[in-house]
Structure 1
Amino acid sequence: MAISLAERIEQLHAEQRLLVKADADIDEGWLRIRNQEDLVQELRAGGHDARQAERLVELLKQTLVEWERHRTLIVERVNFLQREVDSAPPAAR
């Protein structure tokens, strides 16, 4: 079953919205990491055990790597759909 151009365009717009959200989530993730790193520094400066806080920083970084991988997949999907839409005959647009 072939997908109509209108459906492709809607898919493209949906993926573009997901990309905007992914970018915002990644930016927020970096902010959380910086905040957590600041907290680790404060714990250390106060002579506290910072191991759990350091572990959280590493987990946040690992999560962010996965978010960036997911963003790459979204970009690939956007590019694919954009090519599909761009290659449609003018009469279909």
Structure 2
Amino acid sequence: MAISLAERTEQLHAEQRLLVKADLDIDEGWQRIRNQEDLVRELQAGGHDSRHAERLVNLLKQTLVEWERHRTLIIQRVHFLQREVDAVPPTTN
């Protein structure tokens, strides 16, 4: 069963919304990492054990790598859907 142009267009719009959310989440993720790195420096400057805080920075960075991979998949899906939507000739009434 073929998917209608309207359904394909809605899928495209949904993926575009997901891409916007992914971009925001990634930006916020980088901000969290910067904040955590600041906290690590403060702990170190105060002579405190910073191992757990450093581990958190590494975990946050690993998570961000996965978010960026997911963003790449969303972009690929957007391009695929856009090509499908663009390939449908306009109807004339």
TM-score bracket, shorter-length normalisation: over 0.9
Equivalent pairs counted in the alignment come to 92
Where has structure 1 moved over 6 Å in runs of 4 or more? none
CA–CA separation in structure 2 for the residues paired with 1:83 and 1:91? 17
Unaligned runs of 5+ in 1: none
Counterpart position of 2:90: 90
Counterpart position of 2:8: 8
Counterpart position of 1:43: 43
State the TM-score, normalized to the length of structure 2: 0.97
Matched, 1:54 2:57: no
The amino acid of 1:29's aligned partner reads G
Counterpart position of 1:18: 18
Per-residue deviation, 1:90: 1.2
Unaligned runs of 5+ in 2: none
CA–CA separation in structure 2 for the residues paired with 1:48 and 1:88? 63
Question: Cα RMSD over matched residues?
Answer: 0.9
Counterpart position of 1:33: 33
